[in-house]
Amino acid sequence: MTKNDDKIVVENVNVPGRSTRVDAKMYNSMKTAMLKVLPDAAPGLNQTEMREAVKPYLPDELYPGGEKVGWWAKTVQLDLEAKGLLVREDSKPLRWHQKT
pLDDT tens-digit map of 46-57 = 999 999 999 999
Provide CB contacts within 8 A for 94, sequence distance 6+.
46, 47, 88
Question: Nearest CA to 80 among 23, 51, 38?
Answer: 38
Report residue 65: phi and psi, to 5°.
Answer: 65, 20
* Count of the separate structural domains present in the chain: 1
Q: Say which CATH number the domain at 37 has.
A: 1.10.10
The domain of 32 spans 3-98
pLDDT tens-digit map of 48-91 = 999 999 999 999 999 999 999 999 999 999 999 999 999 999 99
Q: What is the pTM of this model?
A: 0.91
